[in-house]
Structure 1
Amino acid sequence: MKRFLIVGLMLVFIVSACGQEQAEVAETFDEAAKAAEGTTVNFYLWGGDEGINRYLDDYVAPRLESSYGIELNRVPMDTAEFVRQLSLDKRADRERGTIDLMWINGDNFRNAAEADLLTGGLLERIPNASLLNEAAQATDAGTPTNGLEVAWGNVQFVLHYDAANVQNPPETFEELRRWTEENPGRFTYPEVTDFTGNAFVRHLLYAKYGDASRDMETIPDAFWDELASWSPNLWKQGQTYPKSLAQLDQLYASGEVWMTMGFNERRAEAEVNAGVFPDSTRALVLDHSISSTHFLAVPFNASNPNGALVVINELLAPEVQLMKQRDTYWGDGTSLDLDKLDERDREAFLSLDDGSTYPDPELLSDRQLPDYGPDVIDQIREGWTRVAR
């Protein structure tokens, strides 16, 4: 009898754990705001930048609490990890998950979209989405967004160097290769499983083959042979690489290497002001610079999708985007179309002060490139094993 009772209780527990219905998404923003009042939004995102973390914790979170009664819970985690978590939720038919909102882009978005892990129809429910730059919103590293994600920021790839140690910085990627020969051990890049490391290699691919590289079915062996020739002159003789951009930044901050890199042409300013990067940090734009848009998405099984919609709308508000672009916190470029803003907001963006670590905006614009699609990103991950042995 006891055994049947225990089995019965277990079945009740399983049904109660798995039987929660999927949360409904409000049709209008006003309905979403009303439903979200007094709730918590679990925001999953990369947590490796203190400027980004402070922007969300010290600026965005208090605004949400004051205006909507929403508590923002920032959950730092690598994007691939929470996409994997959503995949497990999907296989287990878990209709109420722990992730309400997530920062996503590139092949992580491609994978999530193909696996049907995201909530659609976001743009119609978010009033401030009407202010977005349509070109930035349209695709994510070659994958159409189709209303599954909302553009949060738009940045370009730059290197930053310590001018106290690098008196004559290179001007092209070929000159950078020669610079590593003359300054062995003072340069490296993250592993290509990291988004920034993969992007650095994409720049080298374009430097070697130009636009023809976009139509290649397979990256030639000669490219990997040439990339392997960099290794002996890199940090640790190329026997090991930083696992992430955060680790590369640490090497730069400590003086072990004299350059770092990344998407976001303004990001170093906050690090200099905080005393993390050297005061002599300067921007370096080589012969081309890939641009990248990053996005916000709501999982298919978000427990609080309405709260997520409210948070996205707040993050797209012009004054909130403006603060994001200031070096006070992050320095991240806006995803908004300035021509869609009223005159006061537009002038506020145009009058942002120049920092000592910012690249020349005209140079950056002249050398801007669209990113490659996900197939090239995958090829680089696979082919790089020939370089990092």
Structure 2
Amino acid sequence: MTVAQIPPTEGNVPVITKRTLTTAAAALCAVGALTACGPIAASGTAADTTTVDGSSLTVFISGDTNVQDLWEQGIIPAYEEQNPDVTVNTAIDLHGEHDQQTVAKLTTATQAGDAPGFDLVDAGFVISSAAEADTLLEIDQSTVAGLETVPEGTIDAGKGVGIPYRASSVLLAYDTTTVDAPPRTLDELLTWIEDNPGEFAYNSPSTGGSGGAFVTTVLDSYLSADDQEAMRTGYAKELEAGWDAGFERLSQLGEFVYQGGVYPNGNNQVLELLAGGEISMAPVWSDQFITGQETGLIPDTVAYAQISDPSFTGSASYLGIPRTSEQHEAAIDLVNFVLSSDGQQIIADQISGYPVVALDALPGEVADRFADADPDALRPGYYSEISADMANEWDKRVP
């Protein structure tokens, strides 16, 4: 799979990586600028994309590089091998830094009845702001057959439009050569950080979810259960005033984190510091950590645990199909592949994502590896707009 990148256009719209786009007009549509143009044929006229065979569709990805690699190096090549008449492109907003802008443009395109420029969305905003704006196709087991064995609670969390396809959680990774017994609660972790200056790191929340989970967990420790729930299910901006004590605590911790207040840029940089022995402890995504150990990037001397009171966040990840896409049939076919035994095995093998389908439908090795995983019991993070506000406030108050 050869991939070229088109630089972001004016307004910081997402970068697109593409395989085959035949005209400059097609490239502009696929960039994800959410313009009014639809799919373009080689002649420059609107293409007939009502069937799966011969389709060209675009997956919009708002996430880290591991998710981009999952699609571009795993799911898409396997799907195209089974469906040689279908071409799948990707549009990337790395780290989801422009989610609010993307949702606004998606909403505008939906209201105008225009094709948005992509046909499947992999982003945290699928079950929050995009769902609230009524921009996505309603789905259930009758429309997406692959959902048949996905737990009802996981499906319900998709608000009728989100299609769960993998799950993960943030864990506390630690170097066993320097840490005899890891902290088991948030209070114990905060005490450990202060007692071991420079040995803990977390990335800034705007650059990755592992750091965001640490910040969210500290903030939640000062909030009531009702306020936490409200901030997970809607844009309860008025409750953000309850963050003051949590941000003060995070600011106080600054002198005790890596190099007296250095925050890595992204989840991967945290893993690199841990693997290189520059720190002894950090929050990490389960999928990235397990994959890193399997590939040898993270030594076996690094282990992981989960804290409590509260735990770090985790949840299923959801796909969404734009209502005004002209590729509904093709997008559903791709989704069903992702939820198939082959697709779920690719996710498990490539990024160690928890399967969301019944384990007895998967190969024994995969089922055994995730026997204790329960995506229905994970503690979710904030609503997307709340999460964006949290990252902005962290930038202002903590470094």
Deviations, residues 123-142 of structure 1 (Å, cap 9, x unaligned): 542211222211112125xx
CA contact (8 A) 1:164 1:280 kept: yes
1-structure distance, mates of 2:367, 2:58: 33
- Residue aligned with 1:351, SS: helix
CA contact (8 A) 2:219 2:246 kept: yes
- Residue aligned with 1:36, SS: coil
1:387 aligns to what?
A: 397
Instruction: Tell me the CA shift for residue 259 of structure 1.
Output: 2.9
Higher Cα Rg, which structure:
1
Identity %: 18
1:37 aligns to what?
A: 53
- Residue aligned with 2:128, SS: helix
Alignment of 1:1-389 (within 5 A): 35-46=51-62, 48-50=64-66, 53=69, 56-58=72-74, 60-67=76-83, 69-78=85-94, 79-81=96-98, 84-85=101-102, 87-88=104-105, 90-91=107-108, 93=112, 95-105=114-124, 107=125, 109-121=127-139, 123-139=141-157, 145-146=159-160, 148-193=161-206, 194-208=208-222, 211=225, 214=228, 217=239, 218-219=241-242, 221-238=244-261, 240-263=262-285, 265-287=286-308, 288-325=311-348, 328-338=349-359, 343=360, 345=362, 349-352=366-369, 361=372, 369-373=379-383, 377=387, 380-381=390-391, 383-385=393-395, 387-389=397-399
Deviations, residues 42-81 of structure 1 (Å, cap 9, x unaligned): 2222463448615652455234332463233234323353
Instruction: Tell me the CA shift for residue 285 of structure 1.
Output: 1.0
- Rate the CA distance shift 1:75–1:149 in 2: closer, same or farther, 3 A: same
Instruction: Tell me the CA shift for residue 22 of structure 1.
Output: 8.8
Instruction: Tell me the CA shift for residue 380 of structure 1.
Output: 3.1
CA contact (8 A) 1:153 1:334 kept: yes
Instruction: Tell me the CA shift for residue 333 of structure 1.
Output: 0.5
What is the TM-score of this pair, normalised by structure 1?
0.73
2-structure distance, mates of 1:126, 1:344: 17
- Rate the CA distance shift 1:98–1:388 in 2: closer, same or farther, 3 A: same
CA contact (8 A) 2:314 2:381 kept: yes
- Rate the CA distance shift 1:269–1:198 in 2: closer, same or farther, 3 A: closer
Deviations, residues 250-305 of structure 1 (Å, cap 9, x unaligned): 33334333333234x34322212323222322112112243311101122443533
Count of residues in Structure 1 that have an aligned counterpart in Structure 2: 345
- Residue aligned with 1:229, SS: helix
CA contact (8 A) 1:162 1:278 kept: no
CA contact (8 A) 1:43 1:99 kept: yes
- Rate the CA distance shift 1:127–1:34 in 2: closer, same or farther, 3 A: farther
Deviations, residues 305-353 of structure 1 (Å, cap 9, x unaligned): 322111111001134213422xx31110112244xxxx56485653238
Q: Does 1 or 2 have the higher relative contact order (CA < 8 Å, sep 6+)?
A: 1
Deviations, residues 90-142 of structure 1 (Å, cap 9, x unaligned): 5464823432212112x5642223334323346542211222211112125xx
2-structure distance, mates of 1:291, 1:377: 14
Instruction: Tell me the CA shift for residue 213 of structure 1.
Output: 5.0
1-structure distance, mates of 2:71, 2:229: 40
2-structure distance, mates of 1:82, 1:122: 25
- Residue aligned with 1:283, SS: strand
2-structure distance, mates of 1:42, 1:62: 16
Structure 1 unaligned blocks of 5 or more: 1-12, 24-31, 355-360
2-structure distance, mates of 1:353, 1:292: 15
1-structure distance, mates of 2:92, 2:39: 24
Structure 2 unaligned blocks of 5 or more: 1-24, 30-34, 41-47, 231-238
2-structure distance, mates of 1:243, 1:130: 39
Please, which moves more after superposition, 83-92 or 149-158? 83-92
Please, which moves more after superposition, 312-321 or 266-275? 266-275
1:4 aligns to what?
A: none
CA contact (8 A) 2:70 2:347 kept: no
1:358 aligns to what?
A: none
Which amino acid counterpart does residue 81 of structure 1 have in structure 2?
H
Which amino acid counterpart does residue 329 of structure 2 have in structure 1?
N
Instruction: Tell me the CA shift for residue 151 of structure 1.
Output: 0.6
Which amino acid counterpart does residue 305 of structure 2 have in structure 1?
L
Instruction: Tell me the CA shift for residue 35 of structure 1.
Output: 0.5
CA contact (8 A) 1:158 1:262 kept: yes
2:21 aligns to what?
A: none
CA contact (8 A) 1:189 1:197 kept: yes
2-structure distance, mates of 1:173, 1:292: 19
1-structure distance, mates of 2:201, 2:284: 12
CA contact (8 A) 1:98 1:303 kept: no
CA contact (8 A) 1:188 1:257 kept: yes
CA contact (8 A) 1:87 1:117 kept: no
Deviations, residues 8-35 of structure 1 (Å, cap 9, x unaligned): xxxxx9xxx9886799xxxxxxxx9981
